[in-house]
Amino acid sequence: MGLFDKFRKGLQKSRESMWGKFSKLFSGRKLDDALFEEMEEILIAADTGVDTALWLVERVRNLVKETKLTDPEGLPKLLEQAMKEALSGADSAMKTAEQGPTLYLVVGVNGVGKTTTIGKLAHHFKSEGKKVLLAAGDTFRAAAIEQLLEWGQRVGCDVIRHSPGSDPAAVVFDAIAAANSRKADIILCDTAGRLHNKANLMAELEKIYKVAGRELPGAPHEVLLVLDGTTGQNALSQAKVFGEVVQVSGIVVTKLDGTAKGGVVLPIVREYNIPVKWVGLGEKMDDLEPFRPEWFAEAICQP
């Protein structure tokens, strides 16, 4: 299966949810205000959010005028173009250190698939021939440390850990020292996700930032926020809150294959100006893929 086919398969539920309604809407209708209003309702129901739905429909209206379209069956292609424009800032390229190890900090609330994402990222980078080190920075939960150890064994990566309740910044300090001595290319750092105590989380992440930047120039090179695609608009609120706590540089949207709410990717990029860098399209170890905006738009809009 090619990568585009993998995208199509992973986004099948989102496509069917949106396309099934669009195919009825565009068949035998006039290009009038009522049609565009129904188009807005379908997009909102597909978790694109109100602001982005209105933006997309307005852009499609303008494209109709520019192309002098008269047949509603040409609207999916224009919607695809509008989606590509909305996602144009979603550069999936990952920043890397100019020299020495690259450190990626992974953040997100518990239950979104954060530790699993770290394991899949480790698998991806190892498959590229890189040496990867994992840092168990979520010391708040013993289960998170155990889960990361399991992933380390599955992927074949060393895991730097301390006892539960210890200082996460100390784990990051030791991980950087270990990466330097073991000539590792990538450090993937897990973090706590307890948003119910935002002040503590903010202080913890600020300390990690300070230690990482002091011990490894330019670190963290990426701060990846993991969001569960099945939660729809709740993912947007998490992006907003974490954006207030830490400088998020990229988004990982997990479980897209299990949801009809894939439209949430659009407002994340357009309204928060944070690129989606990775998407989870299945449960297997190699089902985490770099995000490709044009493939996303095509997979959603083409029947």
State yes or no: pLDDT of 17 exceeds 80.
Answer: no
DSSP secondary structure code for residue 282 in this structure: S
For residue 85, what are the CA distances in angstroms to 18, 59, 60, 78, 90? 19, 9, 11, 11, 10
pLDDT (average), residues 263-287 = 88
| DSSP secondary structure, 88-135, as one string | TT---PPP--SSS-EEEEEE--TTSSHHHHHHHHHHHHHHTT--EEEE
Is residue 279 within 8 Å of residue 262, measured between CB atoms?
Answer: no
Spatial CA neighbour of 232 closest among 98, 97, 56, 47: 47
CATH numbers and ranges of domains, the chain: 3-86 (1.20.120.140), 102-291 (3.40.50.300)
CB atoms within 10 A of CB 269: 21
The pLDDT value recorded for residue 57 is: 96
Is residue 19 within 8 Å of residue 303, measured between CB atoms?
Answer: yes
pLDDT tens figures, 169-188: 999 999 999 999 999 999 99
Spatial CA neighbour of 224 closest among 125, 76, 100, 86: 125
Query: Range with the lowest mean pLDDT among 205-209, 211-215, 254-258?
Result: 254-258
State yes or no: pLDDT of 53 exceeds 80.
Answer: yes
Is residue 154 within 8 Å of residue 126, measured between CB atoms?
Answer: no
Percent with pLDDT over 70 in the chain: 97
The pLDDT value recorded for residue 251 is: 94
The amino acid at 23: S
For the chain, the distance separating the N- and C-terminal CA atoms, rounded to the nearest angstrom, is 18
The pLDDT value recorded for residue 1 is: 63
